[in-house]
Homo-oligomer: A and B are copies of this chain.
Amino acid sequence: MTEGSIGVGMIGHAFMGAVHSHAWRTAHRFFDLPLVPQLAVLGGRDPERTSAAADKYGFAASSTDWRAVVESDDVQLVDVCTPGDTHAEIALAALAAGKHVLCEKPLANTVAEAEAMAAAATEAAARGVRSMVAFNYRRVPALAYARKLIAEGRLGEIRHVRAVYLQDWLSDAEAPMAWRLRKEQAGSGALGDLGAHIVDATQFLTGDLLTGVCATTTTFVPQRPSGSGMEDVTVDDAALFLGRFASGAVASYEATRYALGRKNAMRVEVNGSKGSLAFDFESMNELSFYDGSDGDSAGFRRILVTEPSHPYVGAWWPPGHLLGYEHTFTHEVVDFVRAVASGVDPAPSFVDGLQVQRVLDAVQRSAAKGSVWTEIPIEEGAGR
């Protein structure tokens, strides 16, 4: 470890690997970081593809043995970018080895795995080892600003939350089978892939936790082409659920990859007694805010969240110059590195990740039992 730097070992080099590595390369170019990330080792399964990705992404080395990445002396921080079924094993090993861990969402494929990870993270924190689950949408400036408005009381008492995450890449019933459609790898379908984001985002925004849900899920296309034959889809194609927050606010959620024409519509609305907010990730630089005190000139304000006074924005461009998807990861890296350097626990913690997992689990259990209302146990330390 070079003084003033921190070595990053990343496992996984597909979509998430590409965007995470961009964040690791870019964060210190725009933000003042106490530790400069060094892209040390990239881990993957296939030697040639991993080596090529390491070159492309700027890693100094590559390996097909994730344990070697975790244990490398050049690595002080492990970034887990693999599918959910391997998160627990890698993260637990990394924490045990004293490495800080950034883990992609959802934290795990089961509550049991997530519990083990949260426990290990709590134990590691006592040793000064930090961990964070990569719910990057918390670092969208517009959502970070929305959180600020709510925390300041600009919305008053929260009554309604409605959140959908709509994509359409499975609309075509002829599209081929993929790992995201297999329960053993993905854990669940739209629920874990997309639903996890809106559960975390709404808990983050409100500063509150869901206490119960009722749900229904469906699989529109039960089999898809795979090789020369057809393979069963073993996850949900869409998950819909209603929920209730500890405060008494009511909420509705929907996650689907069949909403034709909606490419990445992660939309959240919050209505309070004094104000309301609306957000759509397809216009991620904008926040709609209704201030009930505006009298007869009240209307939803289209705030371009690109002012220097808005979260994260001061490091970038002048007002009105948009940020993109990858900036959310860069901000995540900034916050994580700063937390590591200053010895504080970053959010969202693995406990927060576990709490999201409990919600997803309650959704599945409700859907399996005639949509009956299902309580969600609250983990000590969640939502801090």
**Partner-B contacts on A (CB < 8 A):** 15, 18-19, 21-22, 25-26, 29-30, 56-58, 149, 154, 159-160, 162, 164, 166-169, 171-173, 214-216, 218, 220, 238, 240-242, 244, 248, 250, 252, 254, 256, 258-265, 269, 271-276, 281-292, 294, 296-304, 306-307, 309-310, 317-327, 366, 370-373
- Flag if A29 contacts B25 (CB, 8 Å): yes
Known: A160-B259, A299-B301. 16 other contacts (CB 8 A): A26-B26, A160-B238, A214-B216, A214-B242, A242-B242, A242-B371, A259-B269, A261-B299, A262-B271, A282-B304, A298-B303, A299-B303, A300-B301, A302-B302, A322-B322, A371-B373
- Flag if A261 contacts B300 (CB, 8 Å): yes
Write the nearest CB–CB distance from A141 to chain B, whole angstroms.
Answer: 11
Q: How far is the CA of A122 from the CA of B48 in the complex (A)?
A: 44
- Flag if A263 contacts B304 (CB, 8 Å): yes
Contacts of A248 on B, CB cut-off 8 Å?
218, 220
- Flag if B275 contacts A260 (CB, 8 Å): yes
Closest residue on chain B to residue A309 by CB atoms: B296
Contacts of A325 on B, CB cut-off 8 Å?
317, 321-323
Write the nearest CB–CB distance from A143 to chain B, whole angstroms.
Answer: 14
- Flag if B301 contacts A298 (CB, 8 Å): yes
Contacts of A259 on B, CB cut-off 8 Å?
160, 269, 271, 276
Which 7 residue pairs are nearest across A and B when measured between Cβ atoms?
A264-B320, A263-B320, A261-B290, A299-B301, A324-B324, A214-B371, A299-B303
